[in-house]
Structure 1
Amino acid sequence: MEEQIGGGGGANQLFKRLGTFMRKCMFRVLSVGAIPNHIAFILDGNRRFARKHNLPLEAGYRSGFLSLLSVLKYCSELGVKHVTLYAFSIDNFKRCPDEVRCVMDLMLEKVEVLLQEEIIVKQYGVRICFLGRLQLLSQPLRIAAEKAMKATANNTKIVIFICVAYTSTDEIIHAIQQSCIDKLDNHSQARKQTTTHDNANEGIEETTMVKLVDIDKHMYMSVAPNPDIIIRTAGGNRLSNFFLWQTTHCMLYAPAALWPEIGLWHLVWAIISFQRYHSYLEKKKKQV
């Protein structure tokens, strides 16, 4: 009996190693073409997955977290430098309080585990950034998020942006407001420094005009390049108020799989699709 069990375990290890070897070979082939620098994910379908399998709502989100770990592993192996997760919208706070609490508790649990495994995170070079209106989060989650960002700030192999309490319209409004505040401050300083009427008028015109570059500078996502691909699971062909500002030259890939069902082949097909259109997208960027 023990030999049979040991033999079964050996076979499982063999298949696992074979699978890893085949994945590395496939990634080597993919790397001949362009590899996206930034992939963003809209994590859609956790609730539907739970209903589909008659599971509690929490089980759907926990299954989604396991899929997330696999996807992040594949992205790291491929050499993707930036990954963004649309984890929780500002609009999601309108959902059932029990569901909101479930998601927030799960997020807090996983961030605390990450902090406990800080050595492993550093070993893989993972940097974590939370983006959005973080003041809407519970105090324990906000504190844990701030600790995670501080603990991983010097890691550079792969940067994971977690958009929580986020919508694109809120990001744009924030950027415009901050741009206006900066311009008013610059205008006040310019008026103090001018000595003639003509110079004063010139300073007013120069310091009060809000430009595109000013808004770009104050976007939450100014710390990262624009995404090359947005992958939205569950077959949705809309952005749901996500990255409206950053997706002018971005490919949208929408597999029918629910987020907990997403796997290696979905990511591979997304990258193959990106490589097919890469030269066209690069040409459009240069025309801007």
Structure 2
Amino acid sequence: MAKQSSNRATQVIEAVGSFLRRCIGSILSAGPIPKHIAFIMDGNRRYAKKQNLEEGAGHRFGYSTLMNMLKYCYELDVKYVTIYAFSIENFKRRPEEVQSTMQLIQEKIEGLIEKESIVNRYGVRVHFIGNLKLLSKPVQLAAERAMNATWHNSKAVLSICIAYTSTDEIVNAVEESCKEKQKGNEKLLDEIGEGPLIDVADVEKHMYMAVAPDPDIIIRTSGETRLSNFLLWQSARSLLYSPGVLWPEIGFWHLVRAVLDFQKNYAYTEKKSKES
């Protein structure tokens, strides 16, 4: 009986929360809504330490927070969400920590393709972004299964940056652009003459993040204002929002604040975009 009462209370709270979010969303929709929000999920390990949790528990709490933030974004009709899940630099951490994180990532990737998962509820197509060759084979295969299972979803896009740094992305894009230009065309350099071998459009076409427009907002928790080698090419006009909370502590109202800041600066950023 007590368990049933607790479940009913939880359902009521969730229903009230959903209603309030819809009300707030309808107010926000009177202004421009960002097409693309990117998250640097900073503070999982510090959260575990702060709460005296065992090592790795912070990442599990962080995953629950991520599911909530994705739900909030899709309820606000944000079409593109990108998350910085694992940097190439993170491979330098202790081997046992890297292995534990990879196991958790594989577990959560598998969860994305379950029938009742958030990506299927909201019609989200999943992309894995980065130098995926650096991942273990099981994680690579899990990522491929998730991308194949969601390729038909068309309402929103989730880009998961894993084994990613922006410098690696740029170098790879330049290399691929050069290969494409030179492939089967030995006379290319003579034809180009003094002009550039490749241009910005060539590089952008080969970016890992070519699957999404440049982010309107980049949210990094923990109060940090560094991009940490994340979307450097794409963030020239992005609004950076840095709430002081650790990632597992971020909530709906932080997202509302970021959207309001975006709306306040929208006219200025649009003007600068047209001038460039």
TM-score with structure 2 length normalisation? 0.94
Query: C-alpha distance in 2, partners of 1:174/1:283?
Result: 32
2:223: which partner in 1? 235
Indicate if the aligned counterparts of 1:183 and 1:208 stay in contact, CA closer than 8 A.
no
1:184·1:207 contact (CA, 8 Å) conserved in 2?
no
2:203 is matched with which residue? 215
For the pair shown, the structure with the greater C-alpha radius of gyration is: 1
* Alignment-mate amino acid for residue 65 of structure 1: Y
Q: How far 1:269 sits from its partner (Å)?
A: 0.5
Q: Which amino acid aligns with 2:12?
A: L
Q: Check the 8 A contact 2:111/2:117 in 1, yes or no.
A: no
1:281 is aligned, of 257, 269, 272, to: 269
Tell me the distance in 1 between the aligned counterparts of 2:12 and 2:176.
Answer: 56
Question: RMSD value over aligned CA atoms?
Answer: 2.0
Paired with 1:8 and 1:258, the residues of 2 have a C-alpha distance of: 29
The 1:206–1:160 alpha-carbon spacing in structure 2 relative to 1, beyond 3 Å, is farther
SS in structure 2 opposite 1:130?
strand
The worse-fitting range, judged by mean Cα deviation, of 131-140 and 7-16 is: 7-16
Q: State the secondary structure of the residue aligned to 1:154.
A: coil
How far apart, CA to CA, are the structure 2 residues paired with 1:5 and 1:103?
33
Relative distance call for 1:26 and 1:175 in structure 2 (3 A) is same
| Residues 138 and 5 of structure 1, relative CA distance in 2, 3 Å threshold | closer
1:69 corresponds to which of 67, 82, 105: 67
1:57 aligns to what SS in structure 2? Answer: coil
Partner of 1:154: 152
1:188-224 CA deviation, whole Å, 9 max, x = no partner? 2x56xxxxxxxx94x2439962111111111111121
Count of residue pairs the alignment pairs up: 276
State percent identity of aligned pairs.
52
Partner SS for 1:187: coil
**C-alpha separation in 1, matches of 2:55 and 2:90:** 15
- Cross-structure match for 2:239: 251
State the shift of 1:266 in Å.
0.7
5+ residue gaps in structure 2?
A: none
Q: Distance in 2 between matches of 1:273 and 1:204?
A: 45
1:167 equivalent in structure 2? 165
Cα distance in structure 1, aligned partners of 2:160 and 2:141: 15
Residue of structure 2 in register with 1:116 after alignment = 114
Distance 1:77 1:245, change over 3 A: same
Distance 1:109 1:278, change over 3 A: same
TM-score with structure 1 setting the length = 0.90
Please report how far the alpha carbon of residue 112 of structure 1 lies from its aligned counterpart in structure 2 after TM superposition. 1.4
In the alignment, the residues of structure 2 paired with residue 132 and residue 146 of structure 1 have an alpha-carbon distance, to the nearest angstrom, of 13
State whether residues 113 and 120 of structure 2, in contact with CA within 8 Å, keep that contact through their aligned partners in structure 1. Answer: no
Displacement of 1:117 in angstroms is: 2.8
Contact 1:187–1:204 at 8 Å: present in 2 too? no
CA distance in 2 between partners of 1:121 and 1:251 (Å): 26
How far residue 182 of structure 1 moved from its aligned partner, in angstroms, is 1.5
Which residue pairs with 1:136 in the alignment?
134
Asked if the contact 2:113/2:150 (under 8 Å) is kept, the reply is no
Give the 3-state SS of the residue equivalent to 2:48 in structure 1: helix
After TM superposition, give the deviation of residue 9 of structure 1 in Å. 4.8
